Amino acid sequence: MIEVKDLHKGFGDVQVLKGISTTFHPGKTSLIIGQSGSGKTVFLKTLIGLHTPEKGTISFDGRISTKFTIEEKRQWRQEIGMVFQGSALFDSQTVEENVMFPLKMFTDNANSEMLDRVNFALNRVNLENSNSKLPAELSGGMQKRVAIARAIVMNPKYLFCDEPNSGLDPQTAIVIDKLIKEITDEYNITTVINTHDMNSVMEIGEKIIFLKNGLKAWEGSSNEIFKTDNEAVVDFVYSSNLFKKVREAYLKEIK
């Protein structure tokens, strides 16, 4: 579980995060949404330690991340999986080498042990027998699955995804959403996802946090977001005519 309390972060005179508090639970997919400039990316980067908060705390199963010793921080890094926007694979390395990278960085395992773990992760994302391929030989969806395999190869407690559906067609995006949700459920991972994809919000949003101007403006589930009367959320989520009609149909059905 990740507990965030009164989180503040700014750069110079610009305050980006203005006192965010929330909790992310194991086995749940939590989505962070909001307009560009709302603080989503800074929030995610602060959660994973790329930014240091000026005020507030982030606790990982009771451990406050800003108080970690060097050794505790190293151990914590091994508990985190990260799926970057655009996958961020090493172009000159094979699929196998990309997925093995965290194992080589953080473990002293024998090569055979690492290879077993790599194959397990690749099989889990349905990319068996792709070890020797280069990223350029893969489709966008396959590259994203390699990125997910790399993120889970260390068996993480916490999984962070930054726009995992960016650049994917709608059908492939649904496959990636389903895969992330399944992995979260199977391994009881605490999963936090930054997204602009409203399909993801509706499909896998067990918890949704809407940020506006650096504040948590709304929090709820995918079911609750249909019923909310929060004007800022409605304007953002239901900005398209299609989603407006979906919401109207849902509200009529539950009356």
What is the pLDDT, as a whole number, of residue 236? 86
Where in the sequence is the domain holding 151, given as residue range(s)?
88-155
Asked if 132 and 121 sit in the same domain, the reply is yes
Q: Which residue would you say has higher pLDDT here, 138 or 248?
A: 138
What is the pLDDT, as a whole number, of residue 73? 92
Beta strands at 158-162 and 215-220: parallel, antiparallel or unpaired: unpaired
What is the pLDDT, as a whole number, of residue 103? 95
248 lies in some domain: no
Task: For residues 115 and 109, give the distance between their C-alpha atoms in angstroms, rounded to a whole number.
Answer: 10
220 lies in some domain: yes
102 lies in some domain: yes
What is the pLDDT, as a whole number, of residue 93? 97
What is the pLDDT, as a whole number, of residue 238? 79
Assess whether pLDDT exceeds 90 at residue 86: no
What is the pLDDT, as a whole number, of residue 198? 85
Q: Who contacts 86 (Cβ-Cβ below 8 Å, separation ≥6)?
A: 166, 167
Asked if 52 and 162 sit in the same domain, the reply is yes
Asked if 64 and 113 sit in the same domain, the reply is no
Phi-psi region of 94 (alpha: psi -120 to 50; beta: other; left: phi over 0): beta
Average confidence (pLDDT) over 74-103? 94
Asked if 100 and 190 sit in the same domain, the reply is no
Number of folded domains that form the chain: 2
What is the pLDDT, as a whole number, of residue 250? 62
What does the chain come to in residues?
A: 255
| Per-chain mean pLDDT for the chain | 92
Asked if 106 and 117 sit in the same domain, the reply is yes
For 71, the token pair is 């050794």
Rg (CA), the chain: 19
Average confidence (pLDDT) over 105-118? 94
29 lies in some domain: yes
What is the pLDDT, as a whole number, of residue 255? 63
Task: For residues 80 and 162, give the distance between their C-alpha atoms in angstroms, rounded to a whole number.
Answer: 14
Percentage of the chain surpassing pLDDT 90?
76
Asked if 100 and 68 sit in the same domain, the reply is no
Assess whether pLDDT exceeds 80 at residue 114: yes
Any idea what the CATH number is for the domain that residue 12 is in?
A: 3.40.50.300
Average confidence (pLDDT) over 1-9? 97
255 lies in some domain: no
Assess whether pLDDT exceeds 90 at residue 95: yes
126 lies in some domain: yes
Asked if 54 and 163 sit in the same domain, the reply is yes
101 lies in some domain: yes
40-75: per-residue pLDDT in tens? Answer: 999 999 999 999 999 999 999 999 999 999 999 999
What is the pLDDT, as a whole number, of residue 254? 66
